[in-house]
Chains A and B, each alone.
Chain A
Amino acid sequence: MRGVLSDRMGAALLMAPLLLFLVLAYAWPFLGVVKWSFTLPTPGLGQYQALLTDDLVQSVFIRTLRIAAIVTVVSVAAAYAITVVWVRGSPAQRLVAEFCILVPFWISVLTRAFGWVALLSNRGLINTWLQSIGFISEPLTLVRNEFGVVVGMTHFLIPFAVFPLASAMRSLDDRVLLAARGLGSSRMRTFWTVFVPMTRSGIIGSALIVFVFSLGFFVTPAILGGGRSVMIAELIYLRIFQSPDWGLGAAISVVLVLFVGALMALLFRYVRPKQLI
């Protein structure tokens, strides 16, 4: 490209297809959704008022936030442990960690959800095994509830939580850790008082990414929740394709997008985009 076009022109040209696609397939239709939220079934702010009073919508919002929060805490904690091994472990440990991080990316979200059903259902592997060793007499309800949803989502999101953490841990100066130990701090204390605080930007980035992803989850809660723990994306789907209550579905979508937008703005105040990869 250099010599023919300026770098900036070149970059713009290379990005153009993606931008065009986003505008045509996402931004433009979304403007239509915004319009529905103000016009269906009758013009006005009626749907937004309904959002504030509808018990079902509110309970789904609260459940979504609760599940997203739990998933975020569990995913980031698990990802932190994996990332420590991946970034700072022995070569063999790194290889194992890398395998654990990358393999889930090759399996579709749908396959994984059904995989979890097979593991967690009443006659699934875990219950059968626990019963056969006599640990429990009645099967545990591990799926078609919030627990199942949290497990499935956490499993899906851990790899996404790993990358911002890895980026933060890689940029950490080893000498600072040596300095802490040289000053008399045990490995444990060094980890909690120096290592963890120094990876703070990674933790924030990781948590916000997982939280934002969690808010929009559809397939995993739909399958592992079994209709009993409906999250916001599934509610939008139900309102638009089954009720049909397009106006309300559209209003929920708009609120969700604004909320996610606000979180992303917060995210980029703390971390630069390249720290997330």
Chain B
Amino acid sequence: MQQPGRAAEIKAIGIGKSFGSFRALDNLSLNIGRGEFLTLLGPSGSGKTTFLMILAGFVQPTEGKLFSDGTDITDRPAEQRAAGMVFQGYALFPHMSVEANIAFPLKVRKKSAADIKKRVGEMIERVGLVGHEKKLPSQLSGGQQQRVALARALVFEPGVLLLDEPFSALDKSLRGQMQAEMKRLHQETGTTFVFVTHDQSEALALSSRVAIFNHGKLLQVGAPDEVYDRPDNRFVAEFLGEINMLPLKGVKPADNGSTGLCEDRAVNMHCKAEKVRGDAILAIRPEHMSIAREAAVGENGIAATATASTYLGAATKLDLTTRQGAKVTVSVPNEVAAAALSKGNSVWLTWPAEKGFLLPDGGQ
């Protein structure tokens, strides 16, 4: 239905927004590529929704510039931006049928009746709402309303589709289904998608890139594996999933990355000690750590004692305490967990050098 070339490329330069004395967004610069699926991720109040509203044109930035395909659209009102938008709670027109809801943006654009009929029909088929054309939104399930909202936002082939936490009201199984559907729609239409969520797993599963927000600041942008495996700072590391943090001393560059002392034992990292020197934090995801009877010479490892376990079905989550009191969580096969607990004494925690990364000590 649409050439990928029609997808919009958006450039935000130094965007800031204050509501009175509250700084909602601070000096945000971001390029959103043509046809990209970008997720804005952050806790509530982090500025992600404010940025989406600025992209839509519903909120005027206090400072900064916004470009779409090289054109300055900072002062362009929402109705002239031609961005499709899916709201939290869908915001369907309650007095219009499914068909009329989807036809609305086409009618506004004064398309011919025949064209409207054809495109609405195609869209209804594409989102699987055939047979529901004449129903009112109140007669539909949550998932169906969601599809109407998506169809209405995509039917006029916008250059960019903005989605504000569209799945927050759906139950888990429906959520997964709608996520898959949205991914398919993204591939089919080739449109640029900008998606807001506070759910990190949703962000990692859907996006081509994730932008992480906190306290009005854009902290890091990158592909899901990039931000997950190599977070720039502690907030990003913690927000994207469980993470173990071990205090590290005497960090310095080494031949193959960097090296430091973890509880008096030398450990190696593949990442470079660019931003940190001396004291730092070594961060490792629970799934990258394993349990061993002992650590070989030259292998990364520290001694710890298992304190509790949580059976998760496919694996067991094991809580451990190191000799110097750091708390660590690992995800291990069930039988390994049982063995570690039954021994009741010291085990070794090991991890590959490429899976540990350095964060500045304390604070950010």
Contact = CB atoms under 8 A, between A and B. Distances in A.
B95 A183 contact: no
Contacts of B16: none
Interface in A149-182: 173, 175-176, 178-182
A183 B91 contact: no
A186 interface: yes
Interface string A186-202: 11010001100110100
B82 interface: yes
A204 to B, nearest CB: 13
B104 A183 contact: yes
Interface residues of A, number: 19
B87 A185 contact: no
B95 A182 contact: no
Contact of B89 (A175, A186, A200): A175
A38 B78 CA distance: 67
A67 to B, nearest CB: 31
Contact of B93 (A180, A181, A189, A200): A180
Given A183-B105, A184-B109, A175 B91 contact: yes
Given A184-B82, A186-B79, A178 B104 contact: no
Contacts of A189: 108
B95 A178 contact: no
B238 to A, nearest CB: 31
B91 A176 contact: yes
A179 B149 CA distance: 10
A180 B87 contact: no
Contacts of A187: 79
A184 B91 contact: no
Which of the listed residues A175, A187, A200 has the most CB atoms from chain B within 10 Å of its own CB? Answer: A175
B153 interface: yes
A193 B94 CA distance: 12
B236 interface: no
A173 B78 contact: no
Contacts of B109: 184
Contacts of B89: 173, 175
B78 A176 contact: no
A179 B162 CA distance: 11
B147 to A, nearest CB: 15
Which of the listed residues B88, B89, B108 has the most CB atoms from chain A within 10 Å of its own CB? Answer: B108
A178 B93 contact: no
Contacts of B77: 181
A179 B89 CA distance: 11
| Closest 7 A/B residue pairs (Cβ) | A183-B105, A179-B91, A175-B91, A182-B85, A184-B108, A197-B95, A176-B91
9 contacts: A173-B91, A176-B92, A179-B87, A179-B93, A180-B104, A182-B78, A182-B81, A184-B108, A186-B79
Given A181-B79, A183-B152, A193-B104, 4 more contacts: A173-B89, A176-B94, A184-B109, A198-B95
Interface of A: 173, 175-176, 178-187, 189, 193-194, 197-198, 200
